[in-house]
Amino acid sequence: MSPQRKLLLLGTFVHSKTQQHLEFLHNAAVAVDEQGKIAAIERDVAEASEAQARLLTQLGWDEAEVDVTVAAEGQFFFPGFVDTHIHAPQYANAGIFGKSSLLDWLETYTFPLESSLADLSKARRVYTRCVRRTLSHGTTTATYYATIDVAATNLLADLCLSMGQRAFVGRACMDNPDVNPDYYRDASAAETLRATQQTIDHMRSIDPGFDIVSPILTPRFAPSCSREAMAGLAQLHRETNLPIQTHISENLGEIQLVKSMFPEADSYAGVYDKYGLLTPKTVLAHAVHISEEEAELIAHRGSKVSHCPCSNTSLTSGPARVRWMWDRGIDVGLGTDMSGGYSPSILDAARQAALVSRHVAMGIHVPEGGGAAAVEQEKERERVKLTVEEALYLATRGGARCVGLEDKIGGFEVGMEWDAQLVSLSQVSDDGGMEEHDHGHGLVDVFGWESWGDRLAKWLYNGDDRNTKRVWVKGRLVHKRK
């Protein structure tokens, strides 16, 4: 890759300071070095030009060696989004799910599509579009499931690296002949492990430090895997410390299946724990129906949960309880789970997380006739709702914690990497003119009375990829909206 230029970003910066609070830096400047790291931040100066001059002096950088990007009026820089759970091959099916739920959806739509991507020209078309599209929605880090095919999985890793998306790429492991179709499964546990190793070796060859692209061990879900495969992947985790991803307690039929298949375990989480897969580097997708005991076990092991609200609604899996998981000490991030979820956008996932939390609230029974119990339940209804700040935290820092990158990405701090997006609420086109034809989408502050908090709320609830003007990963510009 060609060496990068230094960057200087000027204007308003917004990021999560904590789970509950966004921080707004106005008239600020951020300097990014050739390695894509934030070298310095200057805030709250009178003019952006003053911030620029101060930073250059402080760092001893020459003006000629930096590329300057200014967030204009109505624009701001925001950390790139982290998608903690997405199936790249399923991009081709986004929106196609009919009235199915998980198990018949897998059989009807998903396994046939995934198996067809053993054709590398097909895989290239789908994966290129998936990476391009998610980048255009501000996803700077994606935790991907690929398929069982080694060459196609390696191709996905190549494409992420060349298009500049930070990614965890997992070859789907599925060797159980009773659950997986004959046309789409691993021949044996040994084959699962051998094929997984081949993808690890490939990613080590293209990105030795796993700096942008890293393998992730991917037992698809307990029903897909033999005990030997799960235990073997856990052993590989202990040897390599590579992250792990799988699905858990998404759907009631799936939970029944797990119960009947693994009588030796107390629960679904118990199956993963028994075979060594519940670790601090494990991301569990869904967790819609986990019990109190399972939540306690997951929290105790330090495993993370990827909340996939769009998928959970689309496949009628159920409403996952983010506040409830947070209360129990579980780190939560967001996943599109495309194409269980139809949308490739994490902004959309954040919005749907906020809405689903309101459905959870509406499901809390408030006894009639008032009294102390009713007051308590009313309070609980309020408490479980996610705020704008919390939804945007889930999309950035929360996701970064899930994938173990909280020291690198998810916020704007000196020493972190410049994974960011430039957001425009006013639909300013590149020549500076307003795109009048696009009214109804421009989120501009019509009366001039909105706080920055209001603006972020408008973005969360109304925004889409048209608002995402530029996207950077590790200082590299990876998307620019025409």
Complex with ligand GUN: residue 51 or 174, whichever CB lies closer:
174
Number of residues in the chain: 482
Which of 6, 185, 202, 220 is close enough to bind ligand GUN by CB under 6 A? 220
The span from the CA of 373 to the CA of 366, in Å, is 8
Q: Amino acid identity, residue 289? A: H
Among 12, 52, 84, 110, binds ligand GUN (CB under 6 A): 110
What is the closest distance, in whole angstroms, from the C-beta atom of residue 288 to Fe ion in the complex? Answer: 12
> Facing residues of 14 across strands?
24
DSSP assignment letter at 395: I
- Map the footprint of ligand GUN across residues 298-337, applying CB under 6 A: 311, 337
For residue 108, give both structure tokens.
């009807």
Size of the site for Fe ion (CB under 5 A): 1
Binding string, 68-107, against ligand GUN, x = CB under 6 A? Answer: -------------------x--------------x---x-
Where does this chain touch Fe ion (CB under 5 A) — which range of 179-187, 197-205, 329-337, 413-421? 329-337
Full 3-state SS string of 104-134: HHHHHHHHHHHHHCCCHHHHHHHHHHHHHHH
Name the residue type at position 303: S
Nearer to ligand GUN, 157 or 258 (CB): 258
Between 12 and 343, CB nearer to Fe ion: 343
Q: Which of 331, 337, 348, 389 binds Fe ion (CB under 5 A)?
A: 337
Between CA 193 and CA 228 the distance in angstroms is 10
Which helix H or strand E contains 423, and what residues bound it?
strand 420-424
CB 57 within 8 A of CB 44: no
408 binds, among ligand GUN, Fe ion, none (CB under 5 to 8 A by kind): none
Taking the complex as a whole, how short is the minimal distance between the CB of residue 78 and ligand GUN, in angstroms? Answer: 27
- Among 76, 78, 91, 221, which residue interacts with ligand GUN (rule: CB under 6 A)? 221
Amino acid at residue number 283: V
| Least CB distance to ligand GUN at residue 416 (A) | 31
How far apart, in whole angstroms, are the C-alpha atoms of residue 51 and residue 421? 20
Question: Measured from the CB of residue 341, what is the shortest distance to ligand GUN in angstroms?
Answer: 8
Residue 243: name its binding partner from ligand GUN, Fe ion, none (Cβ under 5 to 8 Å by kind).
none
State the binding partner of 220 from Fe ion, ligand GUN, none, CB within 5 to 8 A by kind.
ligand GUN
Rounded to a whole number of angstroms, the CA Rg of the chain reads 23
User: Among residues 144, 138, 234, 155, which one has the least CA distance to residue 189?
Assistant: 234
* Beta-sheet strands, E only, within 200-251: 213-215, 218-219, 244-248
- Footprint of Fe ion (CB under 5 A): 337
Task: Give the interface with ligand GUN as residue ranges (CB under 6 A).
Answer: 87, 102, 106, 110, 220-221, 247, 250, 311, 337, 340
